[in-house]
Structure 1
């Protein structure tokens, strides 16, 4: 196939107070027309720096020292700003990680696509502008959204809009920078399926930057693995995932949690990438299980080892794992006596809108975002709250923390009822519940050094902590003491999240609310954070409400799982039971959408948008989308709560019908209402 992109010996440095630091060294790869090439590695490895150079982007303190980036034979590094502007969007397009920052909040999304087409004069001669816009939205599965503003769309819908903008001019190359990070599993599945379909229909090439190898398995033809600014392995995707040759690739794959609770043979990655510990030889040597003295002093370069495969390792033959996908079941955990109840939530309901004048006169309540939520959490327990975007997970978490006072319900901590609003709670109650946000950028003061950021909660709660304690908590989250004097802008997204976690841990809380805290982290850092949180749970009996869309991580960590859809709890069970025997149709959908390391893993399911067949609080919110719907019963009648051995399920079908896959004999063959959630 004809080459579209050729990157040759690319070397990039970043300038700072200590001089220039090489962040990309000797990177070379190529992408053929119509090919999907994945670039994977941990945070800070340089993959995004390389990707943005394909668009001609670079920060003010970056310098391309040597190298070429050839696009269809033209060196992009030699083009002026005007030439690059003409190229971007038309022949090379970008789908960014965060659609919120790339979409103008003051323009309707249809107008933003119109502007893109008009700027590059990319409207087909035989087509009207409005027809083209409608066609593009239909292409990404978003009919009738052109009149909406970005804030009126969900995260997954916003990302679809950015994809529609990116393909509006039929580009030759699409650069995707972590496009599904932070999205729930079903939305991830749809975005990846959409991209794969667009690639075939439009015939464009893709550079897919990610830390998620399971997603690359669904879309990439070849994968380049980066470590500390260097490519250490390039191979066909299937071969890389089944038999990785470089020790880093092997460790990266071994670190990926599995949905079935199995462990991959081989050891996961040790520690994290620290540029202050890189040796003069192989950069991976400090973390490598196969390293020798020669590795410490001999630089490794990418060398061909087989057809379409190259590795930068002198010991790749010893490291290669020919039967890597074979899984070994972990031992069953021993059950212990249930500890005391720490948190209880009863009949929690909440609405974001206030009743209007007529609503008050007619005694009508505003539509609830979450309805009748009953949960309990014991000391030292991890309860996972899972569900798609917009299901109400974060709303429940904010209500428990006091940031969003509920309209109804009671929240108790250690048996004492908490005030609904944060401002009315005592200092001790505030200390006992700590919230770790999904986006650390919004919770870290950009004008304060990390030392001051960590010191603020300590001072607020009157806790005496010395310098050694600050260094210890940083080491626990994989950072060294040198970070204390840095500003948040000098850290990667994953590093900023680790600072946010460290800040919460410093005040010794009883309950941690973790709101999608791992979604932006690579697998090695995820594993380290999970181990840290597990140690806190076991040694200090810290309880956690763990909000996540990654069911594989939930399987690794949570004791019980609560499944939420459209503001209502669908199922609650211990983790092993729920993942092995999901019962509820919605839980089955979430499990089937979880990505695996096989390209044929995904299955076809109904769309993820909440269905409007059932009125809020009347029928089942899954009505119309459920593959096992019982006529109009599900839309007309609220499903009963059925008690199970270790939880409950909300469904018109009996647990027996759900377990066997059988349908009820008649409309009346469904359970009666019962309620027990403890």
Structure 2
């Protein structure tokens, strides 16, 4: 039987500013049978997304497929005319991107966007396209398709937006669907819903899948076979269970060892401290205002984002805050850091009451509490070089400038294992892992007593994530800094936090020592989170003892 996809000797390069070609994919070979699923894994920059796009005959700007044979149902797509390629993409081959919000047009209703894809691929009229779109919404388990059809992308949750994009991908009854990190930004329970949907659609439609991900658990759960890439080269491929259980390449072994797991004993996590609390949060509450209508300009209070949140953090301790998207984790971070003012409750720091907003706090209070955000690129000034970004807190809080500030920045770079030449680069010239380490360096430049880490590893591959977490731990141990670590990844929390607080809908469902809570959860919601985090472990080797 002819494979749905067959690729041999695929080479992809990107043109550098000097005109030379830099290889991104080198001599890649793979095949995919009807109804089969293949996972592409590797760290950031390994070439997995570039290869996935090349299999559709597409490259990002500056990229070019220099050689190779790529066949869909036996036809060489590199020999197809432009009109034929247009019908191929979205027809026989569909693509689901990482960020559904950026792939949906914000000012158009989601139903009309999917209906347009239906009309193009099926050549039907508006009325029929609407009916097909509604059936696709029902097929992808979207609630109340007729109502949702007329909503805008920002009015949908992250999981719903991803389902809309999947519905659009199915508009042309594709033989092959390529999914590029489609659940990276979703919490684990929403991720499971999307993955179960994809698995169900694959069985019902007998569609072949290529799943690009840095999450080895997801690939373990979703894919029959796996292909491992390193610096543009395929270093290993085979049946998923066999590759995971008995990896042949050293890089594959390192990737698997770096997977954060809730059943692995942590190393270097400080036990709960009996010292007086550095940060004490009591009865914290907050509501986001809803916009007023046409005739009522005054905003109304919405449902509580946080209600009665209480916890303590001792000096040098790391406390984990976990929960689904919308549970109130990032709101808690914004309140402690002073980006938002609480509606009720109190925040005490080193025994003193903290004013609600950062602008009302003293400069010393602002120095002692720093925050590292989820997306480092959007939190770093794109117009400033890294040196200026790091020297700003030194000048602001300590009056250190010039050569001394440069030396302090170099020392921070050395601690975070960053190349000194990056100080003269702009944020966009750094990789995701490098950007996040710069954001951490900026926070520690102020010599804080408490650092708030808000989903700082969610967009990083497992190997870079492990490096960032190890360096963060090392910095904490050297400086004695406490940490409020927010994440929806329970495996990460297990590795970094001695105690954990579980949030749902703005309220605390469970709290205690991390090992005890994860081993014997008392709340059904905590058990659901733990079950979600444990999926995919079956193909992984047993965790090594600490």
TM over 0.5: yes
Alignment counterpart, residue 245 of structure 1, candidates 245, 248, 258:
248
Secondary structure of 1:29's match? strand
The CA deviation string for residues 315-358 of structure 1, in whole angstroms up to 9 with x for no partner, is xxxxxxxxxxxxxxx7897847522311111221111116979x
Aligned twin of 1:342: 278
Aligned twin of 2:325: 389
The CA deviation string for residues 94-116 of structure 1, in whole angstroms up to 9 with x for no partner, is 11111111111111211211111
8 Å CA contact 1:463–1:507 kept in 2: the answer is no
Aligned twin of 1:578: 517
Q: Equivalents in 2 of 1:477, 1:134: separation in Å? A: 51
Once the two structures are superposed, the pairs formed by residues 306-385 of structure 1 within 5 Å of their partners are 335=271, 337-353=273-289, 366-385=302-321
The CA deviation string for residues 423-471 of structure 1, in whole angstroms up to 9 with x for no partner, is 2222222221111111223212333333333333333333455445434
Q: Kindly name which structure, 1 or 2, has the bigger radius of gyration based on alpha carbons.
A: 1
Q: Equivalents in 2 of 1:588, 1:416: separation in Å? A: 37
8 Å CA contact 1:393–1:547 kept in 2: the answer is yes
Aligned twin of 1:108: 109
8 Å CA contact 1:154–1:390 kept in 2: the answer is no
Instruction: Indicate the RMSD between aligned Cα atoms, in angstroms.
Output: 2.5
Are 2:138 and 1:199 aligned? no
User: In the TM superposition, what is the alpha-carbon distance from 1:575 to its structure 2 partner?
Assistant: 0.4
Are 2:93 and 1:92 aligned? yes
User: In the TM superposition, what is the alpha-carbon distance from 1:123 to its structure 2 partner?
Assistant: 5.4
User: In the TM superposition, what is the alpha-carbon distance from 1:552 to its structure 2 partner?
Assistant: 1.0
User: In the TM superposition, what is the alpha-carbon distance from 1:252 to its structure 2 partner?
Assistant: 1.0
Aligned twin of 1:497: 436
Q: Equivalents in 1 of 2:215, 2:170: separation in Å? A: 23
Q: Where in structure 2 are there 5+ consecutive unaligned residues?
A: 541-546
Are 2:380 and 1:448 aligned? no
User: In the TM superposition, what is the alpha-carbon distance from 1:55 to its structure 2 partner?
Assistant: 2.7
Which stretch shifts more, 130-139 or 21-30?
130-139
CA 1:555–1:455 in structure 2 vs 1: closer, same or farther (change >3 Å)? same
Q: Equivalents in 2 of 1:591, 1:491: separation in Å? A: 34
Aligned twin of 1:23: 24
The CA deviation string for residues 404-430 of structure 1, in whole angstroms up to 9 with x for no partner, is 222122112112222211222222222
User: In the TM superposition, what is the alpha-carbon distance from 1:539 to its structure 2 partner?
Assistant: 2.2
The CA deviation string for residues 184-209 of structure 1, in whole angstroms up to 9 with x for no partner, is 11111111111111111111111111
Please report the TM-score for the alignment, with normalisation by the length of structure 2: 0.90
Alignment counterpart, residue 256 of structure 1, candidates 254, 259, 270:
259
Once the two structures are superposed, the pairs formed by residues 106-505 of structure 1 within 5 Å of their partners are 106-121=107-122, 128-144=128-144, 145-262=148-265, 335=271, 337-353=273-289, 366-461=302-397, 462-464=399-401, 465-505=404-444
Q: Equivalents in 2 of 1:261, 1:537: separation in Å? A: 21
Per residue, is there more helix in 1 or in 2? Answer: 2
Aligned twin of 2:65: 64
User: In the TM superposition, what is the alpha-carbon distance from 1:591 to its structure 2 partner?
Assistant: 0.5
Which stretch shifts more, 554-563 or 533-542?
533-542
Once the two structures are superposed, the pairs formed by residues 71-82 of structure 1 within 5 Å of their partners are 71-82=72-83
Secondary structure of 1:55's match? coil
Which stretch shifts more, 57-66 or 142-151?
57-66
Task: Return the structure number with greater relative CO, CA threshold 8 A, min gap 6.
Answer: 2
Which stretch shifts more, 491-500 or 383-392?
491-500
Secondary structure of 1:224's match? strand
CA 1:354–1:30 in structure 2 vs 1: closer, same or farther (change >3 Å)? closer
Aligned twin of 2:474: 535
Q: Equivalents in 1 of 2:416, 2:132: separation in Å? A: 49
The CA deviation string for residues 565-612 of structure 1, in whole angstroms up to 9 with x for no partner, is 1111111111011001101010001001114444699xxxxxxxxxxx
The CA deviation string for residues 16-65 of structure 1, in whole angstroms up to 9 with x for no partner, is 24643222211111122211111100111111111111233323322333
Once the two structures are superposed, the pairs formed by residues 623-662 of structure 1 within 5 Å of their partners are none
Q: Equivalents in 1 of 2:353, 2:44: separation in Å? A: 42
Q: Equivalents in 1 of 2:101, 2:92: separation in Å? A: 23
